[in-house]
Homo-oligomer: A and B are copies of this chain.
Amino acid sequence: MDAAEFRRRGKEMVDYVADYLENIEKRQVYPDVEPGYLRSLIPEEAPEEAESYEDVVKDIERVIMPGVTHWHSPYFYAYFPTANSFPSLLADMLCGAIGCIGFSWVCFFSLSVHPHICLSIHPSIHFYPACTELETVMLDWLGKMLKLPADFLAGTEGRGGGVIQGTASEATLIALLAARSKIIKLIQADHPDRSETDIISKLVAYSSDQAHSSVERAGLIAGVKMKKIPTDNKFSVRGDALQKVLEEDRAAGLIPFFFCATLGTTPSCAFDCITELGPICNAVEIWMHIDAAYAGSAFICPEFRPLLNGIEFADSFNFNPHKWLLVNFDCSAMWVKKRSDIIGAFKIEPLYLKHDHQESGNHSHWQIPLGRRFRSLKMWFVFRMYGLKGLQAYIRKHVGLAKEFESLVRADQRFEISADVVLGLVCFRLKGSNELNETLLKRINNARNIHLVPCQLAGKFVLRFAVCARTTESRHIQEAWCHISHLASELLQELPH
């Protein structure tokens, strides 16, 4: 395919994409194909000879769409939202065309594959591609939208700053590894004889018992103990709960070094009490990382910003603009107060660390992969074309829709609300047994008009209703509720009295 054909086909694809998104609610939100359906629809091997674009494009509806869960359908209420906006799609087209790998990789290559070469190509190292600089500035823009403390911003002299990670899982892992490396250096400074593995065997990290599984997995990867702190009746970790475990573990000879607080837990969007937890972590020099993967986007609204109070005690903070801030996946924003903590964890040439510009410029030491796409373009397009006010309006609309659904549930005596509705998630259930609610959920998902997933709260089987799609309107909420309450009526009538 040459540039001329790309011009034609690209414009057809733009129309296909627009058609898909404009008419998405006409599609069944949730596929009903059998496992392995796709393999039988396409050849077992790649073709020897090139096929025509027509042949390929025909297969999108024949092969792909029947197996797609339409995350951007206004009938999708499962999990949490994943962002999708037109400005972001345009920026991604540009990102693909430029197809640069990012300064970070360049510098990492020069320094770590050939450390001694570093100086020799110094002139080139001093040319900072747009890719890295735009990312640093966009993270500053976003940090200011969130009113992050100044020490999380890079600015021109800052020691902190932000970076784009692929997902919150990577951000948590990076923070944990940085904390691990920091505590090991700290202990070995006083006890040079103590081995790294001996120290690691005593390390213990903490998170909420409501925390996402990726936190536990980060501990698994880093090879450190990870303990879950019990939450209160609001599913929130409180200071005294952490304090208690810290004292027990210290007494047992363990070394607490990392606490991952969650703002907006996956099951119920609960908030750990970081104003209580932060001072405790700071007092005993435990790294506090805050994972606000979903909820973080809401903090750009003054009325929700108080949920982030206590951020000043954190060492690192992360949330996903690719969830709720209209920037397409992948774009997970992570900030740290001290870049040197992160960079130090990845063993960079001391010589290199002398160059502040490079420290802020080189992001490869901030992440697992070395390569990186020009992801900051998506943020730049979205922030400018929506403006802060447009983004705030978007968040408020989703929260309003969740409140609307909550009021419908509360108005029906057969149902109960299972957790405070703070943002765009409503946890609810039929008053009655878990089995009853499991059956209701099954019927909802099998009907395929809408898609929900469950969670477990205090031993109860609960349905999660998350406002997800950009195009969800009040009528969709009303429709979804009618459908749910109709299925509930059917179910309840079948029960023996």
Give the dominant DSSP class at A's interface: helix
Which residue in B34, B88, B346 is a CB contact (below 8 Å) of A217? Answer: B346
- Cβ of A283 under 8 Å from chain B: no
- Cβ of A30 under 8 Å from chain B: yes
Name the 6 nearest CB pairs between A and B, nearest first.
Answer: A67-B130, A10-B14, A197-B201, A112-B213, A167-B369, A38-B133
A-B contact pairs, 16 of them (CB 8 A): A3-B21, A5-B86, A9-B90, A31-B130, A36-B128, A38-B137, A45-B145, A46-B141, A48-B387, A63-B130, A64-B134, A84-B97, A114-B267, A196-B223, A220-B346, A330-B369
Which B residues touch A186, using CB under 8 A?
A: none
- Cβ of A7 under 8 Å from chain B: yes
Return the CB mask of A102-122 against B: 1 if under 8 Å, else 0.
000110111011101100110
Task: Count how many chain A residues have C-beta atoms less than 8 Å from C-beta atoms of the other chain.
Answer: 159
- Cβ of A386 under 8 Å from chain B: yes
Identical chains bound together, number: 2
Q: Give 5 new A-B contacts, CB below 8 A, not counting A48-B389, A71-B100, A84-B97.
A: A3-B21, A4-B18, A10-B90, A20-B97, A50-B390
- Cβ of A256 under 8 Å from chain B: no
Known contacts A39-B133, A79-B106, A128-B35; is A93 also within 8 Å of B93 by CB? yes
- Measured between C-beta atoms, what is the minimum distance from A161 to chain B in Å? 12
For the complex, give the distance between the alpha carbons of A213 and B362 in Å: 15
- Cβ of A388 under 8 Å from chain B: yes
- Cβ of A129 under 8 Å from chain B: yes
Instruction: Determine if B93 and A10 form an interchain contact, defined as CB atoms under 8 angstroms apart.
Output: yes
Which residue in B47, B90, B328 is a CB contact (below 8 Å) of A13? Answer: B90
Instruction: Determine if A35 and B142 form an interchain contact, defined as CB atoms under 8 angstroms apart.
Output: no
Which B residues touch A400, using CB under 8 A?
A: none
Instruction: Determine if A35 and B126 form an interchain contact, defined as CB atoms under 8 angstroms apart.
Output: yes
For window 416-464 of A, CB contacts with B under 8 Å fall at: 438, 441-442, 445-446, 453-456, 461
Instruction: Determine if B56 and A384 form an interchain contact, defined as CB atoms under 8 angstroms apart.
Output: yes
Return the CB mask of A11-27 against B: 1 if under 8 Å, else 0.
10111111011100000
For window 207-262 of A, CB contacts with B under 8 Å fall at: 212-214, 216-217, 220-223
Known contacts A130-B68, A266-B113, A370-B169; is A14 also within 8 Å of B93 by CB? yes
For the complex, give the distance between the alpha carbons of A120 and B69 in Å: 19
